[in-house]
A and B are shown apart, each in its own frame.
Chain A
Amino acid sequence: MESDNNKPGPAAAAAAPGQAHLPEGTTHPQSPADLFWSFSMLALQGFGGVMAVAQRELVERKRWMTRQEFLGEWAVAQIMPGPNIINLALMLGDRHFGLRGALAGFAGMVTFPLIILLLIALVFSSVENIPAVQGGLRGMGGAVIGLIAANAIKLVGGLKGNVMGTTLCALQIVLTFVAVALLRVPLMWVVLLVGGAGWAWAWLQLRRIDAMKGAA
């Protein structure tokens, strides 16, 4: 695995021979324990869904991946069965520390949220009708929507350099949004049709670019 680089600062990353695997400005998780605690923190911030927190923590704070990598890895995690965010934790943990890392990431995602959930289950029935509790959940829900929107806009930066080009990327976003949010088409069909078309087009473009590089 790539865990041989123990002190991966941005400078080390720029100088490292394996630069392709460690883009400038990104770092590694230090240990399985680091993975466990980082994913625990991430999970505990994830009210109503962890994906939006994931990009903030993993890309902006920890710098374990670039925006572009995040989009790519998420595209893979998205089509796998199982919760996307747990798939991402497994993926990242496994890549850096093998099975131990994957288990550490997984345990981080699940342990504390499960404890909290069971504690809530024990007390919830006695507080669920208190207006302040309902109001608090409503307010928190409103903030979460703002978080997701902010992240969506930030991730647009990760499309820079995408081989499909700006126009087609924008078209794909609009089509997917209309299908999923407005027409409520099942996600599977959207991924198959819109995603399949994007895949084929990106493949053609990459083949053309690789051929040009080969010729130069």
Chain B
Amino acid sequence: MSIVLTLSDVLTLFLHCLSISLLAVGGGLILAPDMHRLMVDEKSWLTEEQFTSSLALAQSAPGPNVLYVAMLGWNAGMNAGSYALAMACVAATLVGIMLPTTLLTLSVTRWAHRNREWIGLRAFKQGLSPIVIALLLSTVWLLSAVHNDPSRDWKLWLLTVVAGVVLYRTSINLLWVLAAGALVGAMGWV
């Protein structure tokens, strides 16, 4: 795929990211539909496949999931055929998405720290703590639900249980467990 990107396109991308940044309550992935609308539907900077694989790669690579926006920018720039444009689009998407939330978070958390003895804030933290645990358990459920064929997936479930028990009982470096999982998978055993 080959497209033309001008500087004003890069600016459009930046302003779009700025404008939706603060909507990302609960994480950057919920912005994906709107990024898709701009970059695939309206401007045709990316193909459908590029959009999907950008999301999947960012999910499986280490680091915050929100980096998928950088990947979208990168692919758009590469479609225009230049590393310089690719880097410019990476900067436009990443800074655009992160700047507003960062400023807001800094001001709110400063306020929260100054007022940490205030009863309303103590109540908020305690009153919502169980929800944090429930959301972790929900993530476990939703991720496991993809593997729903017992005859094929039981080995993967076993791997999950073993990894969970090892990580619960020991303080072994996590990277060893991830590497072991990757190795077992690469050998085709799960």
Contacts and interface: CB of A to CB of B under 8 A. Distances in A.
Interface in B28-50: 28
A7 interface: no
B141 A177 contact: yes
Given A71-B133, A113-B62, A177-B134, A146 B164 contact: yes
Interface string A23-53: 0000000000000000000011111111111
Given A53-B174, A75-B124, A149-B140, A117 B70 contact: yes
Interface in A184-216: 187-188, 190-191, 194-195, 197-203, 205-207, 210
* A contact patch SS: helix
| Size range of the chain B interface in the assembly | 35 or more
Contact of B63 (A60, A117, A140, A144): A117
Interface of A: 43-53, 56, 60-61, 68, 71-87, 90-91, 94-95, 99, 102, 106, 109-110, 112-114, 116-118, 120-121, 124, 128, 131-133, 135-156, 158-159, 162-164, 169-170, 172-177, 180-182, 187-188, 190-191, 194-195, 197-203, 205-207, 210
8 contacts: A49-B139, A82-B101, A106-B102, A110-B67, A144-B178, A162-B130, A203-B119, A206-B123
Interface of B: 21-28, 53-54, 57-67, 70-71, 74-75, 90, 94, 98, 100-102, 104-106, 108-110, 112-113, 119-120, 122-144, 147, 156-157, 159-168, 171, 174-175, 177-178, 180-190
